Structure 1
Amino acid sequence: MVKKIAIVLFFIMTSCNFEKPTQFSTEALQDTLYDVSHKKYSFQQVLEQYKGKKIVIDVWASWCRDCIRGLPQLKELQRKFPEVTYLFLSVDTNVNSWKRGIQHYQIKGEHYNLPKGMKKGALVDFLNVSWIPRYVVIDENGKITLFKATKASDKNIEKVLKNS
């Protein structure tokens, strides 16, 4: 009996990892972000600015050790795929720390802040952000082609950038 319960729990837990939406929810698209000038946008407005381009979204924070460790691999992606838009969504709740992190680590790309942080908000809920960094790839048609990567070195990122 215990073995059967363990097997059922295993399938329930792993089935959650297979969630691969291809479009953002309406609620996620309506979530609020701020640029470095503190101008307010909906996530949909941000995505519309890059319509027709491939986008790599990096959900990160200046205090996140794994995010910082992944920057060299992300910069390598930027070198290999310069035509791609790199959209950095910070979950820093301290705006000054976020801005200092961009400067200190010389992060090139488009920068926005999710002011509610990592635990609240429709976009982080949709992405099911339980760990950062988190990478999402969107193709030229606005379709999510890679929903969940936790390392910039994930070979699936390059694969979808080459194929989409």
Structure 2
Amino acid sequence: MLSTFPIARRSVKLLLLCALLTASGCNRGDHPQQVSRQAPDFVVHDGARTVRLRDYRGKVVVLNFWATWCAPCLDELPSLQQMQQQLPQVQVLAVSIDDDAEAYRNFLKQYEVKLLSVRDGSEGANLRFGSVKVPETYVVDRKGVIRRKFIGSQDWTSPEIESFLSKL
């Protein structure tokens, strides 16, 4: 019955999200609960590719949740791409929460996105991290442990961030 009522489905998803966030506490502050914990694994199939977080064990992963309609995401994209070029030992994994597959593909072409990007839509990889706003980025170490969370747009080429990533 819910499948015939998209608004009802979204309401159920919103209620589940609220319950998840209430149970897990707020993770938007300076010291979110996830730091020093194992990153939740996920698999994203977007038609073009399949990405599994666990496949990147052994590499430092910068896991960036973003969207094409997000102005701060667009602001940080050039520095994120530059950081990926400067630190090839770090794997940027950009997970888009866009529902519109065509808008996502057009964005990648228009802005010549050279990052490993996958569209998750509303499937919820971001929710496994308690992430409900974009951009939010998690740094996952070689063993799969979350070491840091960034909220909002960042300059990924800043000396502080590059030094942190180089030491992992």
Flag whether TM exceeds 0.5 (same fold): yes
Structure 2 equivalent of residue 24 of structure 1:
39
Question: Retained in 1: the 8 A contact 2:62–2:91?
Answer: yes
Structure 2 equivalent of residue 34 of structure 1:
45
Question: Retained in 2: the 8 A contact 1:36–1:99?
Answer: no
Q: Give the Å deviation of 1:142.
A: 1.1
Structure 1 equivalent of residue 57 of structure 2:
51
Give RMSD over aligned pairs: 2.6
Structure 2 equivalent of residue 158 of structure 1:
162
Distance 1:91 1:142 in 2: 22
- TM-score normalised by structure 2 residue count: 0.70
Structure 2 equivalent of residue 5 of structure 1:
none
Structure 2 equivalent of residue 80 of structure 1:
86
Question: Retained in 2: the 8 A contact 1:136–1:148?
Answer: yes
Q: Which runs of 5+ in 2 are unaligned?
A: 1-24
Distance 1:153 1:83 in 2: 18
2:100 matched to 1:94? Answer: yes
Q: How many residues align?
A: 139
Q: Which runs of 5+ in 1 are unaligned?
A: 1-12
Distance 1:100 1:66 in 2: 18
Q: Deviations over 1:86-141 (max 9, x none)?
A: 11100000011111111111111222222216xxx3x3233332321111111111
Q: Deviations over 1:57-112 (max 9, x none)?
A: 11111111111111122122123212211111000000111111111111112222
SS of 2:52 mapped into structure 1: helix
Distance 2:167 2:39 in 1: 21
Question: Retained in 1: the 8 A contact 2:39–2:140?
Answer: no
| Cα distance change of structure 1 residues 92 and 132 upon mapping to structure 2, 3 Å threshold | same
Structure 2 equivalent of residue 145 of structure 1:
147
Greater Cα offset, 50-59 or 125-134? 125-134
Distance 2:108 2:137 in 1: 17
Question: Retained in 1: the 8 A contact 2:39–2:144?
Answer: no
Distance 1:49 1:103 in 2: 26
- Look up the equivalent residue of 1:162 and give its one-letter code: S
| Cα distance change of structure 1 residues 159 and 109 upon mapping to structure 2, 3 Å threshold | same
- TM-score normalised by structure 1 residue count: 0.71
Q: Give the Å deviation of 1:20.
A: 3.5
SS of 1:107 mapped into structure 2: coil
| Cα distance change of structure 1 residues 149 and 163 upon mapping to structure 2, 3 Å threshold | farther
Distance 2:27 2:56 in 1: 32
| Cα distance change of structure 1 residues 82 and 36 upon mapping to structure 2, 3 Å threshold | farther
| Cα distance change of structure 1 residues 16 and 98 upon mapping to structure 2, 3 Å threshold | closer
Structure 2 equivalent of residue 114 of structure 1:
120
